[in-house]
Amino acid sequence: MKRSSNGGLVYSTDGGRMCPACRRPLTECACKAAPVVTGDGVVRVSRQTKGRGGKSVTLVKGLALDAAALAVLGKQLRTACGSGGTVKDGVIEVQGDHCDLVMEVLAKHGHQPKRAGG
C-alpha cells in the first residue's frame, strides 16, 4: 500500500487531536503550525432539532475566525442569549431558538449574517 505525504494519524485516544505537520498531539505540538481558519465568509444562522430529542439549537456556521476568536464570540452569543452552548468544529451552537437575537449580535460585531433553513 502506498503512503501519502498528506495522510497520517488525525486522532488518537491517547493524545486527542494530532498536528498534521509534526504528527504529535496538539498540546505537545513542536512546530506550532498555523491553525487552519475554516469558513467561507458567509455567516449562516439556522435552527436545528434533528437528533437532539426535540430540543432546538441555534447554529452559526461559516465564520472565518480562528479557534480562540470563535470561542470568544461563542461566549458573547451565549451571554447575550442567556443560555448555554458550545463551539464544535467551527460551528457555534447556542441552546434554544435565538436566531433573531444571534443575528443582531453578529451584525453589531461587523458580520453580515444570513438566515439559513426554514
* pLDDT on residue 2: 46
E strand or H helix that includes residue 43: strand 43-48
Cα separation, 3 vs 52, in Å, equals 39
Burial profile 30-44: b = 16 or more Cβ within 10 angstroms, e = fewer: eeeeeeeebeeeebb
Locate all alpha helices (DSSP H) within 1-118, ordered by sequence: 67-81, 99-108
pLDDT digit string (tens) for 63-93?
A: 888 888 889 999 999 999 999 999 988 899 9
Cα angle for residues 41, 43, 46 (degrees, 5° grid): 150
Q: Where are the domains of the chain?
A: 10-34, 43-115
Q: Which CATH architecture has domain 43-115?
A: 2-Layer Sandwich (3.30)
Q: Answer whether 0.75 is exceeded by the pTM.
A: no
